[in-house]
Chains A and B, each alone.
Chain A
Amino acid sequence: MREADLVVVGGGPAGLCAAISAASSGANVLVIERNKKLGGQLVKQTHMFFGSEKQYASTRGIDITDILLNELKKYNNQVEIMTDTTVVGMFEDGVITALHKEDKYFKIKPKATVIATGAFEKSLAFPNNDLPGIYGAGAVQTLMNVYGVKPGDKVLMVGAGNIGLIVSYQLMQAGVEVVAILDAASKIGGYLVHASKIRRMGVPILTSHTVKEAIGKDCVEKVIVCKVDDKFKQIEGSEIEFDVDVMCVSVGLTPLNELLAMRGCEMKYIPQLSGSVPVRDENYETTVENVFAAGDATGVEEASAAMVEGYLAGICASAKIGYKPDNFEERKQDYVKQLSDLRSGPVGQHILSGIEQIVVK
C-alpha cells in the first residue's frame, strides 16, 4: 500500500490548482489523472477565456494548462503526477484503488483527498439519438483540436450556450460548415459577443427549436427539427429538415462525482449546479472527514471558478492534515473574495442559489 499526505484525483484546472496550493503549504501531493495529458477540459479550448484577470481571462485555455504546470514544477520534489491512471474506488477505510494503464491496480491510503473529477456531457432524447455522427460537443472539440481530425462536412449544433457557440466557431475555423445552431430556450444562453460573431459568419441561430428526429441508415444523414411552444411542446407543421453528416449535442454538463457517492459523502440533487453534488462546508470538505472536492465535480461552473475552488480546497485540505502556512487566513480570504467576485453576475446569482443549499456551516 502506498502512502501520501494528499491525493488529488483529476488533473484539470481544479485539481492542478489544488495540488499547487497544497504543495506550497508543505504537503506531499500525488495527482492522479486518467488521461495521458493533464489539463482536463482545457486541452481543447483554443479560444481566449472569459473570466477575470486573476484567472487568466484572455489567455487561451490550452495555454493556461502550461501556466499551471510551470507553477507546479516549483514543487517538483513534493509533487508526483501519475497520468494514464484512473481512480476506480474509494472505500470506508480510507483506501483508494487506482488502475494504471488499464492493467495494473494499486492501493493508496492518503491522509486527505481532493476530488476534482470534473463533469461529463449530457445527451438528449429523440428518436435515433444513438446514430453514429451524433456526438457530444466536447467530443467534436477533442477530435478537431487535439487530433486535428474533422468530424464531418456539415454540422447541426444543438444548444446555444457558450459551449455550443464556441464549438460552432471552432468548427468553422477547422473548415467545417455549420448549417444552424438550435436551442429549445427562447433566448440564446451563451454570451452575446460569441453569438453575434457566429451570426456575422452567416449561421442562423434558431431559438425555440428542438430536434424531432434523426434519420440515417448506419450514420446520421438528416435531422428534422421543429419549433416548440413556451411549454417546450413540439409544434406540428413547423418542421425543418437539415441534410447533415454530423449533429453536435451541447446541452450542458453534469458533475462527475460517483467516487464521492461511493465513499459515502452525502449528495444532493441541485438543478442550479447541474446535477448531484456533495454537501460540503465552506472549506470544500464533504461530509466525510478529510475528503474534499473542487471544480465542476461540485457543480458545473467555469474554469475560472474551478481554479479558485481548487486553490481553496488544496490549502484547506493541507491545513487540516497539519500543513498550515503562516498566511493561511489571508490566502483563504483572498480565494473567498475571488469566488464571490466571479459569482457577482446574474449567472453567478443562479449558481449561488444552488450553493446555498449544499453548504453546511
Chain B
Amino acid sequence: MRIEEHPILDFKRGKKIKFTFNGQEAEGYEGETIAAALHAAGVKVLGKSLFLHRPRGFYCAIGNCSSCLMVVDGVPNVKTCVTDLQEGMEVETQVGKGVII
C-alpha cells in the first residue's frame, strides 16, 4: 500500500528497518512512524479498547487522540502515530489499558 509514483511528491525513503509485530517479522523504513509502517504492511488494528475490547486503529495520526496506543518494547500506551520506527523494535497489539509493572 505504498505510493510509488506521485505527480507532486517524491518520496525519499530512508533505509529499510526490520521490526516485529506480535512476534512476526515485519519491515518498514527509517523516518516513518510505527503506525505508518504497519499500515503500509496492511495492519489496521493496533489495539483493543479498554472495556468492550473493540478494535482500535489510528484516527488523527498527529498525536491528539490516543486511538493508536500499542505496546512497544514492553512499554504500553505508546502513541504509535508519532513514534518513529526503530531497528529491532518489538511492537504488539495492546489489549485494554496495559500494565507497566
Contact, CB under 8 Å: B55 / A218: yes
Q: Bits for A91-121, please: 1 = Cβ < 8 Å to B, else 0.
A: 0000000000010000000000000000011
Chain B residues near A143 (CB-CB < 8 A): 36, 39, 61
CA distance A331 to B68 in the complex (A): 44
Contact, CB under 8 Å: A175 / B3: yes
Do A147 and B60 form a contact, CB below 8 Å, given A218-B55, A219-B45, A219-B55? Answer: no
Do A145 and B9 form a contact, CB below 8 Å, given A130-B56, A132-B57, A136-B61? Answer: yes
Interface: A173 (CB within 8 A): yes
Chain A residues near B100 (CB-CB < 8 A): none
Total contacts A to B, CB within 8 angstroms?
96
Contact, CB under 8 Å: B6 / A138: no
Chain A residues near B45 (CB-CB < 8 A): 132, 218-219
Contact, CB under 8 Å: A219 / B57: yes
Chain A residues near B84 (CB-CB < 8 A): 36
Query: Which one of A60, A123, A142, A147 contacts B62 once the chains associate, using CB atoms below 8 Å?
Result: A142
Contact, CB under 8 Å: A149 / B64: no
Do A132 and B56 form a contact, CB below 8 Å, given A147-B36, A148-B9, A173-B8? Answer: yes
Most buried by A among B7, B33, B83: B33
CA distance A174 to B1 in the complex (A): 10
Interface: B18 (CB within 8 A): no
Do A147 and B8 form a contact, CB below 8 Å, given A138-B60, A139-B58, A219-B44? Answer: no
Interface: B54 (CB within 8 A): yes
Q: Bits for B24-58, please: 1 = Cβ < 8 Å to A, else 0.
A: 00000000110010011000111001000011111
Contact, CB under 8 Å: B57 / A35: no
Chain A residues near B8 (CB-CB < 8 A): 46, 60, 173
A351 to chain B, nearest CB (A): 23
Contact, CB under 8 Å: B2 / A135: no
CA distance A111 to B6 in the complex (A): 46
Chain A residues near B11 (CB-CB < 8 A): 148
B61 to chain A, nearest CB (A): 3
Chain A residues near B46 (CB-CB < 8 A): 132
Contact, CB under 8 Å: A148 / B61: no
Chain A residues near B74 (CB-CB < 8 A): none
- Chain A 206-245 residues near chain B, CB threshold 8 A: 218-219
CA distance A140 to B61 in the complex (A): 8
Do A121 and B2 form a contact, CB below 8 Å, given A173-B8, A219-B55? Answer: no
Interface: B82 (CB within 8 A): yes
Binding site for A on B (CB under 8 A): 1-3, 5-9, 11, 13, 32-33, 36, 39-40, 44-46, 49, 54-65, 67, 81-84
Binding site for B on A (CB under 8 A): 34-36, 46, 60, 102, 120-121, 123, 130-136, 138-140, 142-145, 147-152, 173-175, 218-219, 256
